[in-house]
């Protein structure tokens, strides 16, 4: 499977909210990195730890709306742009982030998230 094919399938499973499906693309030793964040969620290593991170997000965030654009593929990496309308800690906000995923041997070995800081024209 090419990176482009994996990216398309992964994104479709994310849209369908098929956790078991998209998690099947994670390598056992996947690394997840969050920009501009400190604490235990800034760097998460391993499939089980990443499942716990997702569970924490679902327990602490009310998602009102979300959309995804992409995937944008280059070599062994692909990016997805996420826009979200969420409530966290009682505060509703709109957020944008780009997830950059690195693929090796048919599995996602790393995901990095970059956050938007306003619009530029």
32 pLDDT more than 60: yes
Among 10-24, 32-46, 48-62, 75-89, where is mean pLDDT lowest? 32-46
Task: Dump pLDDT digits (tens) for 42-75.
Answer: 899 999 999 999 888 888 888 899 999 999 999 9
CA 81 to chain CA centroid, nearest Å = 9
Q: What is the pLDDT of residue 36?
A: 66
Residue closest to 31 by CA, chosen among 114, 81, 101 = 101
From the list 92, 82, 21, the residue with the least C-alpha distance to 62 is: 92
Pinpoint the alpha helices (H) of the chain. 3-15, 19-23, 47-60
């Amino acid at each position: 499977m090419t990176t482009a094919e994996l990216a398309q399938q992964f994104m479709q499973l994310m849209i369908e909210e098929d956790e078991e499906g998209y998690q099947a693309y994670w390598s056992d030793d996947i690394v997840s990195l969050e920009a501009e964040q400190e604490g235990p969620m800034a760097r998460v290593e391993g499939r089980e730890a990443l499942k716990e991170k997702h569970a924490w997000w679902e327990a602490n965030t009310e998602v009102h709306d979300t959309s995804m654009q992409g995937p944008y593929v280059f070599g062994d990496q692909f990016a997805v742009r996420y826009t979200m309308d969420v409530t966290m800690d009682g505060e509703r906000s709109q957020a944008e982030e780009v997830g950059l995923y690195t693929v090796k041997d048919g599995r996602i070995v790393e995901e990095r998230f970059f956050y938007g800081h306003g619009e530029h024209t």
